[in-house]
Structure 1
Amino acid sequence: MIQKHDIQTEARNRRVLMVAYPGVHQLDVIGPLEILATTQFFIGDGDLPYDLKIVAVQAGPVKASSGLTITAETSFADVMKHDDEIDTLMVAGGHGSSSQLKNPKLLEFMQTMAPRARRIVSICTGALILAEAGLLKNKRASTHWFWCPIMENEYPDVTVDHEAIYVRDGNVWTSAGVTSGMDLALALVEMDWGHKVALEVARFSVMYMMRPGGQSQFSAHLLAQRAEDPAINDALSFILENPADPLTVTSLAAHAMMSERTFARRFKDETGVTPAAYVETARVQAARVVLETTDHTIDQVALETGFQSAERMRRAFHRHVGISAGEYRDRFRMTADPGARPRAGPG
């Protein structure tokens, strides 16, 4: 039985616009919108929590990269003419995004509507469209791991996070590939309606968990899936599950029942990195999640995730993330904002 939460707020019918274009990835469009739409089942009776619209150059069918068709309900011109304020402006990614970087109508739409939106969101390579429109200048952002170096090269005024599945910088949210757009949408639900509602939406959508943005899209977990050697694979899993352990080459080699020299060689052959580099990456990944989701002190987080001291964790964060652990928490810890109302301008 679905349990509805009685949330007293006037911020209903939040207007959400999702930008689509030829060659868009269909799941980038539908996935986040379905997460937002599902919220209606958990916040009590009354108006819908979100007013969802797909928008394109022209109203009508838009052919996705899959060959299937998405229907845009309205056009850029109509929205710019009639919508003075919106809650959320979203742009999807997909194979067609490259050609859209030089689409003047799309770029004009993004530049015109961004100041009218409470927040701006991109899914996957939609981040490149935001960057081309000048909306990521001097901001930290994420995109699909394959496109991270390209975005870094083409838009040097953007700080590209190669690892995070999604990033929030001010009122701008960017995400990595495909399913991470749904993780980002869950974070939006949590901000708008609280943690309990977001958790219900995640469960209803049969999502494994609510993943914080600090979880890596391409790092420790994916490297762990890549190893073919069973002993190395077991060592990788052991590191991920026990980041607070000493995790020296000596202890890991003993765990794998190999000599230290053999273990180090086979580890690098399987993963492309040294055991020490992998351990640090796994610890930073674990610390990012704790920083985003708990009130534990920086010293506690350092101990819980194996850094032993806040200073060692600070240096590791600067290497991997570009900011200290404290700065990371200040910028990216999720906080609920159930009473926020749509307003014009950056937030």
Structure 2
Amino acid sequence: MPTVAIAIFPGVQALDVAGPVDVFSEANGFLAPADRYEVKLISAESVPLRASNGMTLVADATFDDAREPFDLALVAGGPALPNNESPDTRLLDWLTNVAAGCGRYGSICTGAFVLGHAGLLDARNVTTHWQHAAQLAAQFPQARVDFDRIYLRDGPLVTSAGVTAGIDLSLALVAEDHGPHTALAVAKRLVVFAQRQGGQSQFSPYLTAPADDTSPVARVQAHVMERIRERFTVKQLADVAGMSARNFARVFVQETGVTPHEFVERARVDAARKLLESSGAALKAIAYDCGFGTADRMRIVFTKRIGVTPMGYRERFRAG
């Protein structure tokens, strides 16, 4: 019987725990007794603890007691983890020891930060919630952070994006263990996609507010957003900033991390997403209003950036 350990702690995200537990539990209904997953929640103390949503969880064992080899060990995420510079040493010690004897180990959502503190992300391809991916990359520079993937496997290490992505990861592990048909059957029971189309980009905004909204770069960004239908050249944008084209391009990349062309394309994608979510306008009209020119061009850029077509995005996210 394969054993699964999920580390929990005060302030854990309840859905990071419940999602994977339900996947493995539902999978057991399709498996022979010897193949069924045995899932245990592990924490520092065997007392009830509060999740971030107020729900009470009780662990099956403590870190001190649960030292046996597990087939899979995961640490759940929690809203406070990205800014917690010193996670519970008992959790870190448990993770380090268990990972050494595990066939697979990893994290759900921001649980990746705990793995980072335990030194388990170095030289690995990993992912986490899109809101915290840049922070994870900055805090643990030896990790190779993918900002878009829903889940990732690098050798024995598995990581997932935010919250419900723990379900995606768990379904992928069930498929790995027992084939895609079993994973599909579980997904149908849970009324979720067995394999979600696209990456995290479809949930995250491309554009963030500039640090200094009075800077020349911020002025250019506002200029683009206000005239998103128009075509832009570096020379035109440099004139708005009051700089030479060469200096403007250098400063823009330095302050934003992307080229002016990249920014304009991202701005067009974000503008199109808002219209796809809030209106029933024809795709060709949205493409024109957002500066793509044609619906075909918008589809090409959208698919490259978001991983789904504009129509697919509208079907998922249009309000009402």
- Using structure 1 for the length normalisation, give the TM-score: 0.63
Equivalent of residue 191 in structure 1, options 164, 176, 179? 176
- Paired with 1:113 and 1:147, the residues of 2 have a C-alpha distance of 25
- Paired with 1:277 and 1:149, the residues of 2 have a C-alpha distance of 27
**Cα 1:230/1:25, change in 2 over 3 Å:** same
Is 2:201–2:305's contact at 8 Å kept on the other side of the alignment? no
**Cα 1:201/1:78, change in 2 over 3 Å:** same
- Paired with 1:162 and 1:196, the residues of 2 have a C-alpha distance of 29
1:167 aligns with 2:132: no
**Cα 1:64/1:221, change in 2 over 3 Å:** closer
Q: Who is 1:150 aligned against?
A: 135
**Cα 1:103/1:234, change in 2 over 3 Å:** farther
> In structure 2, what residue type is equivalent to 1:256?
A
Q: Who is 1:51 aligned against?
A: 38
> In structure 2, what residue type is equivalent to 1:165?
I
1:105 aligns with 2:132: no
What secondary structure is seen at the aligned counterpart in 1 of 2:194? coil
What secondary structure is seen at the aligned counterpart in 1 of 2:39? strand
- Paired with 1:195 and 1:120, the residues of 2 have a C-alpha distance of 21
- Structure 1 residues not aligned, in runs of 5+: 1-12, 236-254, 268-274, 288-347
Residues 246-289 of structure 1: CA distance to partner in whole angstroms, max 9, x if unpaired?
A: xxxxxxxxx3288x5x541899xxxxxxx9698345136659xx
Q: Which has the higher contact order (CA 8 A, sep 6+)?
A: 1
Q: Who is 1:129 aligned against?
A: 114
> In structure 1, what residue type is equivalent to 2:125?
R
1:92 aligns with 2:76: yes
Is 1:55–1:73's contact at 8 Å kept on the other side of the alignment? yes
Alpha-carbon shift at residue 211 of structure 1 (Å): 2.0
Q: Who is 2:199 aligned against?
A: 216
Alpha-carbon shift at residue 206 of structure 1 (Å): 1.1
- Structure 2 residues not aligned, in runs of 5+: 206-269, 309-320
**Cα 1:128/1:234, change in 2 over 3 Å:** farther
Residues 85-133 of structure 1: CA distance to partner in whole angstroms, max 9, x if unpaired?
A: 2100010001242437432111111111101110012110001111111
Is 1:183–1:211's contact at 8 Å kept on the other side of the alignment? yes
Q: Who is 1:279 aligned against?
A: 300
Q: Who is 1:230 aligned against?
A: 279
Residues 22-80 of structure 1: CA distance to partner in whole angstroms, max 9, x if unpaired?
A: 00000101111110111111124x33511110000011212100111101010001112
Is 1:40–1:49's contact at 8 Å kept on the other side of the alignment? yes
- Using structure 2 for the length normalisation, give the TM-score: 0.68
* Aligned length, in residue pairs: 240
**Cα 1:35/1:103, change in 2 over 3 Å:** same
Q: Who is 1:68 aligned against?
A: 55
Q: Who is 1:18 aligned against?
A: 6
Is 1:220–1:278's contact at 8 Å kept on the other side of the alignment? no
Which of these two proteins has the greater Rg computed from alpha carbons? 2
Residues 196-237 of structure 1: CA distance to partner in whole angstroms, max 9, x if unpaired?
A: 111000001111x2125x831123897565336637x653xx
What secondary structure is seen at the aligned counterpart in 1 of 2:42? strand
**Cα 1:204/1:133, change in 2 over 3 Å:** same
- The worse-fitting range, judged by mean Cα deviation, of 15-24 and 221-230 is 221-230
> In structure 2, what residue type is equivalent to 1:230?
S
Percent sequence identity over aligned pairs: 31
Alpha-carbon shift at residue 172 of structure 1 (Å): 0.7
